[in-house]
Structure 1
Amino acid sequence: MNLNLYIANKIRKGEVTGKKLAGPVIKVATLGITIGMVVMILSLAIGTGFKKEIRNKIVGFSSHIQIINYDYNSSFETNPIDRDSVFVNQLKVLPGVKRIQEYATKPGLIKTKDDIQGIIIKGVGKDFDWEYFKDIITDGEIPDYKGMNTSNQVIISKTLAQLLKLKVGDKMPTYFFQDKIRARNFQISAIYDSHLPEFDKVYIFADIRHIIKLNNWNDNQIAGYEITLEHFNQINDLSRDIDILAATHISSDGGLLRTTTIAQQQPQILGWLDMLDMNVTVILILIVLVAGFNMISGLLIIILERTSMIGILKALGKQNWNIRKVFLYLASFIILKGILWGNIIGIAIYFIQNTFGVLSLNPENYYLDTVPMYLNPLHLVYLNISTIIISFVMMIGPSYLITKITPVEAIRFD
């Protein structure tokens, strides 16, 4: 029998005679670990979930990487590139590339009876991935751009619909300014709401063939390619590979290509999201330290309460290390129990929020209407292991107090 473990278990259960402070102290210490673990799990889940949702929204509008004309034109009046199926097939075989789609953009002006609003028309084709928009469509249906004829159906945002007093089925007179004013009379097919005002205030989605005709391009010309990756963290590596491939491609008219990433297009939002990592890290460190000091104070109280028992064990010939192990076992019981309950409660809250969306947000401030949560199982394992190790290491210091207790003074102390 492991005598040290046996004594620690007896103290934990309150079966050792003498003062009875150990029970409440153990409960308070366990509660502190539990609450700290719950807060750490939720902080990690919310921080990761928030980044994931906002990134998905931005990527849903403009993909991870874009290939465009090598003219460094920063406006939405872009110069075209030629469609090239051979080049597209070379991109598709790159590991990590999920989808490639064509696009074109053009600035315009919507004029209704009472209002005027500047907008950006984004032309998309039959290869466009509507998966993201299926989740944010609030009214109407996604139009079909796969037909032989150019479709007049468009998707506008809820923000623009309210601003211009438009609804699904309404006609939308739109004007474009080139060498002369050109007009298109679109019809609203669906209304979306992404809660991203930077996009909702300007973007309308239409058949790419409209943009090609408005720009007087031939049928083989587009503004560029949008490339969606398997994972967001592949952007830096894959953008270099794609940029090298694009740089070696020369079109029939001698034009060159270049790449641009979502990080270059939206540095403010993504920079703000990267700051969340630092905030979550600071929160985790602070909570671990608070929980650790809570354990330290609890262990010191238990040691002082059991001073007489320590003196008796020393008088019976037990070494300092063996007596310290009794209290380290006790600390381990408290830490593991607190972490176990913290995981149960934290993961339960995580599933409840993801299922029912109990905690809501103001989308005008946070871009989301509910608190997003996402837990990577590997991150959860790392969090638990690091918490156990740090908490246990912090317990070694206070246990040295046992070496300062002499048997005579300890027995008389009671």
Structure 2
Amino acid sequence: MNTELFISRRLFFEKSDKRFLSQKIIRIALVGIALGLAVMIISVAVVTGFKNEIRNKVIGFGSHIQVINFDSNNSYETQPVSRQQPFLEQLAALPGVKQLQVFSTKPGMIKTDEYIQGIVFKGVDSGYDWDFFRNNIVSGHLPAINDSVRSDEILISQQVSKLLEVAVGDRVVLYFVNEDESNPRMLQLTICGLYNTGMEELDNLFVLGDLQQVQRLNNWKSDQVSGFEIVISDFNRINEIEQDVRNIVINYSNENDTILRTTNIAREYPQIFDWLSVLDMNVWIILLLIAIVAGFNMISGLLVLILERSKMIGILKALGSPNWSIRKVFLYLSVFLTSRGMIWGNSIGIAFILIQNYFNVFKLNPATYYVDVVPVNFSIMHIVLLNVGTILATTLMLILPSYLVSKISPEKTIRFD
């Protein structure tokens, strides 16, 4: 039988009419722990939800990994590669790869009678995964693209449509310039739909349409594209999977073939992903500060508990209990009390997450935060880790204050009463 655990449980469930000072102090400490844990749960849920939301939006424009011509730069003016590559079947079968699709990009501009806007025309084929834009479309429909007939439909952002004062169904003129040509090339295309992701920087840039339009603009053959986009199932494995993709591409490369290289979305948009990584540091600082405050709250409660139970400590010592055994009684009791506060903290934190997730109570300015509501990520693993970390941190912080037990003399405490 664990004697220390038995005594601590009796103290925890004690129904005494005596008004101990520790009851009020412990109540204040438990409120602090409950609020602290709730803030930690909400902070982690909001930050991870925000990171996932922004990351998924950026990935929606360019996928996780790209295989492109080595000579292509970051200006979206790419060099062609053949879409008939021997490694494509092996890439599609690679563990963690969800989708493999071709794309082509061409920088240009949209011009109306009064306005002009620089854009990047992204051409895709019938195998393109439209899920991201389907979820963000606000008007009209997605371009109807097939591999036999060139489509003149394009999808532009709602922001660009407002800047140019155009709407779904309007025909607009797009201009493109080739290096070896003095006159710009012109396309007259129909706006079939408007999308809005909240990422204003990217919304103002990308126009989506038929890949065959880009091939015609660049004088490419029907089997030439800018490269291949690879969508994976787990972003945390992006570096590992990119290395596997690179190895496969290199193994199939011949001396006279076009040299290919791989890149990932984090390197394509380093400013965004560096900004998101800074948020992790902010969360760790918040968690550390709240854990310290919760620990000091419980330290004050433990000290008062020890002082008020000095007679009990003296009796246990007179009966032969060692100091460490008595200290364990109060550590167990502190764990029980901390757990009570954590129950309320979990209830508050989880309730906030569920309410925000289903009802979107708290709104944001999308021009500043790229999202129109506060995003939350409900993760059982995060909640479990926060609970375990909180109870471990507070318990470890209580070990040193519990040393006060050894300073209590059994002779003086028993005689005093």
TM class by smaller structure:
over 0.9
Name the residue aligned to 1:263. 266
CA–CA distance in 2 between the matches of 1:221 and 1:18? 85
Q: Write the letter of the residue equivalent to 2:298.
A: M
Return closer, same or farther for 1:273/1:413 CA change in 2, 3 Å cut-off: farther
1:411, CA displacement in angstroms?
4.1
Determine whether 1:148 maps to 2:151: no
Change (3 A) 1:155 1:253: farther
Match of 1:201 in 2: 204
Contact 2:133–2:195 under 8 Å retained in 1: yes
SS in 2 for 1:402: helix
- 1:100 alignment counterpart: 100
**3-state SS of the aligned residue for 1:61?**
helix
Cross-structure match for 2:188: 185
**Equivalent residue number for residue 245 of structure 1:** 248
**Amino acid aligned to 1:371:** V
1:319-374 per-residue CA deviation (whole Å, 9 max, x = no partner) reads 43333233222201111112222222212221211111112111111111111111
Q: State how far apart, in whole Å, the 2-side matches of 1:157 and 1:271 are.
A: 26
Aligned counterpart, 2:345: 342
2:54 match: 54
Counterpart position of 2:86: 86
Structure 2 residue aligned with 1:406, among 401, 406, 409? 409
1:307 alignment counterpart: 310
Closer, same or farther in 2 for the Cα pair 1:384/1:50, shift >3 Å? same
Aligned residue for 1:369, secondary structure, equals: coil
Please state if 1:291 is matched with 2:294: yes
CA distance in 2, matches of 1:95, 1:126: 24
Alignment of 1:61-140 (within 5 A): 61-84=61-84, 86-140=86-140
In the superposition, the TM-score normalised over structure 1's length comes to: 0.94
Identical amino acids, percent of aligned pairs: 46
1:354 is matched with 357
The equivalent residue for 1:45 is 45
Match of 2:164 in 1: 164
**Residues 14 and 264 of structure 1: CA distance in aligned 2, closer, same or farther (over 3 Å):** same
State the match for 2:227 in structure 1: 224
CA distance, structure 2, for counterparts of residue 223 and residue 17 of structure 1: 79
Cα distance in 2, alignment partners of residues 80 and 308 from structure 1: 86
SS state at 2:86 partner? helix
After superposition, the CA RMSD in angstroms is: 2.1
Q: Is the partner of 2:15 in helix, strand or coil?
A: coil
Greater alpha carbon shift after TM alignment, 28-37 vs 316-325: 316-325
CA contact (8 A) 1:195 1:368 kept: yes
Residue identity opposite 1:401 in structure 2 = L
| Per-residue deviation, residues 168-219 of structure 1 (Å, max 9, x unmatched) | 1111111122312221111111111111122111111111111111111111
Inter-CA distance 21–206: structure 2 relative to 1 (3 Å threshold) = same
Rounded Cα–Cα distance in structure 2 between residues aligned with 1:190 and 1:22? 66
Q: Deviations over 1:289-322 (max 9, x none)?
A: 1111110011111212222333344345544333
Residue deviations 1:249-308 (CA, integer Å, cap 9, x gap): 447973221111111111110011111122111211211111111100111112122223
Q: Which of the numbers 396, 400, 403 marks the counterpart of 2:399? A: 396
Q: Provide the C-alpha distance between the structure 1 equivalents of 2:274 and 2:251, rounded to a whole number of angstroms.
A: 31
CA distance in 2 between counterparts of 1:59 and 1:73 reads 19
Task: Quote the Cα distance in structure 2 between the aligned partners of 1:243 and 1:326.
Answer: 59
Q: CA deviation at 1:85?
A: 5.2
Task: Check the 8 A contact 2:125/2:147 in 1, yes or no.
Answer: no
| Structure 1 Cα separation of the partners of residues 166 and 255 of structure 2 | 44
Relative to structure 1, the CA distance from residue 346 to residue 15 in structure 2 (aligned partners, 3 Å threshold; closer, same or farther) is same
Distance in 1, Cα, partners of 2:17 & 2:361: 47
Decide whether the 8 Å contact of 2:72 with 2:78 is kept in 1. Answer: no
Report how far residue 3 of structure 1 moved. 5.7
Distance 2:242 2:398 in 1: 48
Q: How many pairs are equivalent? A: 414
SS at match of 2:32: helix
CA distance in structure 1 between the aligned counterparts of 2:139 and 2:10, rounded to whole angstroms: 65
Instruction: Give 1:14 deviation, angstroms.
Output: 5.4
Partner of 1:29: 29
Instruction: Name the SS for the 1:86 alignment partner.
Output: coil
> In the alignment, is the contact (CA less than 8 A) between 2:96 and 2:233 conserved in 1?
yes
Bigger shift: 166-175 or 374-383? Answer: 374-383
Partner of 1:214: 217
Q: What amino acid does structure 1 have at the position aligned with 2:137?
A: I
| TM-score, normalised with respect to structure 2 | 0.93
Kept in 1: contact 2:86–2:252 (CA 8 A)? no
Q: Which runs of 5+ in 2 are unaligned?
A: none
Q: Distance in 1 between matches of 2:109 and 2:145?
A: 22
What CA distance in whole angstroms lies between the structure 1 residues aligned with 2:184 and 2:309? 90
Letter in 2 for 1:285: L
